[in-house]
Amino acid sequence: MKLPEPMRIAFEEAEAAARRGEVPVGAVVADKAGNVIAHAGNRTLELKDPTAHAELLAIRDAARILGSERLVACDLYVTLEPCAMCAAAISFARIRRLYFGAGDEKMGAVEHGSRFFAQATCHHAPDVYSGIGEDKARTLLREFFKARR
């Protein structure tokens, strides 16, 4: 199956993150038509910032580019299931749709863990589509961590 262009770019970002020694996660914010607005890969080590997850960096750039803290007409593509911090940012930004690759049983908060968007306290829940490029995402993560052990 051919990946949508924004997800292909998210994987490029994930691969670049791995080359920098970062956990290989990439994210893309796109408009409804799939035009890329912003993209990023993890930079927590490089920036010495625990919040520098790919999703947050891409959301921040898209908000700056669009001049709005609300990204209601935007979709987020990410290679790994977002954590609770990123899920909260997705909700606050009012992202329209979330597409992600591999699930994350340890830290994921969309289909695993806290299931952030299903909580009564969640202000906005995007439409969620999982498993987009799942095998590729799992392989990238597995190889990254195998090389570090």
Find out whether 104 and 112 touch, Cβ atoms under 8 Å. yes
- To the query of whether residue 55 is one of the catalytic residues in this protein, the response is yes
Q: Which of 12, 55, 105, 134 is labelled catalytic?
A: 55
- Of 106, 84, 101, 109, nearest to 135 (Cα)? 101
Q: Which residues contact 145 (CB under 8 A, 6 or more apart)?
A: none
Using DSSP, state whether 52 is helix, strand or coil: coil
Strand partners, 127: 97
Give me the residues paired with residue 40 across strands: 27
Taking residue 95's Cβ as centre, other Cβ atoms within 10 Å add up to: 24
Spatial neighbors of 86 by CB under 8 A, at least 6 apart, are 53, 55, 56, 78, 109
Catalytically annotated residues = 55
